[in-house]
Copies of this chain bind each other. A is one copy, B any other.
Amino acid sequence: MLDFEYYTPTKVFFGKGREKEVGKIISQYGYKKIMLQYGKGSIKKNGLYDCIINLLKEYDIEFVEMGGVEPNPKIEFVREAVHIAKREGVELVLAVGGGSVIDAAKYTALGAVTDCDVWDFVVGKQKPTSALPVACVLTIAAAGSEMSWSAVVSDLSLNMKRGLASDLIRPLFAVCNPELTYTVSSYQTACGITDIMAHTMERYFTPCEPTDITDQISEGILRSVINAARVVMKEPNNYEARANIMWASSLSHNNLTGCGRINSLPVHQLEHAVSGEYDNVAHGAGLAVLFPAWAKYVYTYNIPRFAQFARNVWGVNEVDDKKAAELGIESMTEFFKSIGMPSTLREFGINLDAIDKLTDLCTFNNTRTVDSVIKLGSKEIKDIFKLCC
Interface residues of A (CB under 8 A from B): 1-9, 11-16, 18, 209, 211-213, 216-217, 219-221, 223-225, 227-228, 239-240, 243-244, 247-248, 251, 256, 259-260
Measured CA separation A219–B220 after assembly (Å): 8
Q: A224-B212, A259-B247 are in contact. Are A6 and B1 (CB under 8 A)?
A: no
- When distances are taken between beta carbons in the complex, the residues of chain B under 8 Å from A220 are 213, 216-217, 219-220
Measured CA separation A42–B248 after assembly (Å): 41
**Contact for A212 among B11, B14, B227, B260, CB less than 8 A:** B227
Does A14 contact B259, Cβ atoms closer than 8 Å? yes
Measured CA separation A8–B6 after assembly (Å): 10
Measured CA separation A260–B256 after assembly (Å): 18
- When distances are taken between beta carbons in the complex, the residues of chain B under 8 Å from A5 are 11-14
- When distances are taken between beta carbons in the complex, the residues of chain B under 8 Å from A259 are 14, 247
| A121 CB, nearest partner CB in chain B, Å | 21
- When distances are taken between beta carbons in the complex, the residues of chain B under 8 Å from A227 are 212
Measured CA separation A209–B243 after assembly (Å): 13
**Contact for A244 among B8, B11, B212, B219, CB less than 8 A:** B212
**Contact for A6 among B11, B211, B228, B239, CB less than 8 A:** B11
Q: Which of A12, A213, A239, A243 has the most CB of B within 10 A?
A: A213
- When distances are taken between beta carbons in the complex, the residues of chain B under 8 Å from A228 are 212-213
Measured CA separation A8–B211 after assembly (Å): 22
**Contact for A221 among B9, B11, B15, B216, CB less than 8 A:** B216
- When distances are taken between beta carbons in the complex, the residues of chain B under 8 Å from A239 are 1
Measured CA separation A212–B178 after assembly (Å): 15
Measured CA separation A227–B219 after assembly (Å): 16
For A248, give the chain B residue with the smallest CB separation: B213
- When distances are taken between beta carbons in the complex, the residues of chain B under 8 Å from A2 are 15
Does B217 contact A1, Cβ atoms closer than 8 Å? no
- When distances are taken between beta carbons in the complex, the residues of chain B under 8 Å from A251 are 213, 217
Does A247 contact B224, Cβ atoms closer than 8 Å? no
Mind listing 14 A-B residue pairs with CB under 8 Å? A1-B247, A4-B14, A5-B13, A5-B14, A14-B260, A209-B240, A212-B228, A212-B244, A213-B221, A213-B225, A213-B228, A216-B224, A217-B221, A217-B251
Does B16 contact A12, Cβ atoms closer than 8 Å? no
Does B7 contact A11, Cβ atoms closer than 8 Å? yes
Does B7 contact A14, Cβ atoms closer than 8 Å? no
